[in-house]
Amino acid sequence: MIPKFNFGKDGDLLVKHSKQRDAILENLCSRYDHPTAEDLYLSLKPKIPALSLATVYRNLALLESMGDVVKISTNADSDRFDGNVNNHYHFACIGCGGVSDVDMPVNDSIEDKVAELTKADVKTHSLIFYGTCEKCKKKSLTNEIIML
Ligand code: ZN
Ligand code: MN
């Protein structure tokens, strides 16, 4: 649910300053694990006892609409969030649900290719790779050894 917006005389979006929203953004930008709303809530709750999970969800939606955070929707139940708004690729583990950055340059040329194929005006693209992460691979290997 996105809160109601107020617009200034020049049509700019006026968003009331919020300490809780600042704290959410600061926490998100200080980590690289692409937390869920609940992860952020649990991490901030000890510092901000008045914080509610609904407030975290609401502020993440607002931050996303302002372009300050990126929502990553994978096949897993909960959306994840990223404070790095520059386009980059992600890997999502089908075992533990973890999402990590893929240190690989963004391929801008595929946008031209898609524009050519669809005759559309292509502005961006996002890419999530799916598979089993290194930790989960090791875990399943250990389980196999125990089974032997
Ligand atoms: Zn995993
Ligand atoms: Mn990322």
- CA–centroid distance, residue 62 to ligand 1 (Å): 30
pLDDT, one tens digit per residue, over 25-42 is 999 999 999 999 999 999
- CA–centroid distance, residue 97 to ligand 1 (Å): 6
- CA–centroid distance, residue 17 to ligand 1 (Å): 37
Q: What's the confidence (pLDDT) of residue 118?
A: 98
Cα 99 to Cα 5, 27, 34, 94, 125: the distances in Å are 31, 17, 6, 10, 18
- Span 40-45, mean pLDDT? 98
CB 25 within 8 A of CB 70: no
- CA–centroid distance, residue 64 to ligand 1 (Å): 26
Question: Is the pTM of the predicted complex or chain greater than 0.85?
Answer: no
pLDDT, one tens digit per residue, over 46-72 is 999 999 999 999 999 999 999 999 999
Ligand in closest contact with the CA of 101: 2
Ligand in closest contact with the CA of 76: 1
Distance, CA of 86 to CA of 84 (rounded, Å) = 6
Q: Taking 80 as the threshold, does the pLDDT of residue 20 lie above it?
A: yes
- CA–centroid distance, residue 134 to ligand 2 (Å): 18
Q: What's the confidence (pLDDT) of residue 148?
A: 67
* Coil vs helix vs strand at 81: strand
- CA–centroid distance, residue 9 to ligand 2 (Å): 36
Q: What's the confidence (pLDDT) of residue 27?
A: 98
pLDDT averaged over the chain? 91
Phi-psi region of 84 (alpha: psi -120 to 50; beta: other; left: phi over 0): beta
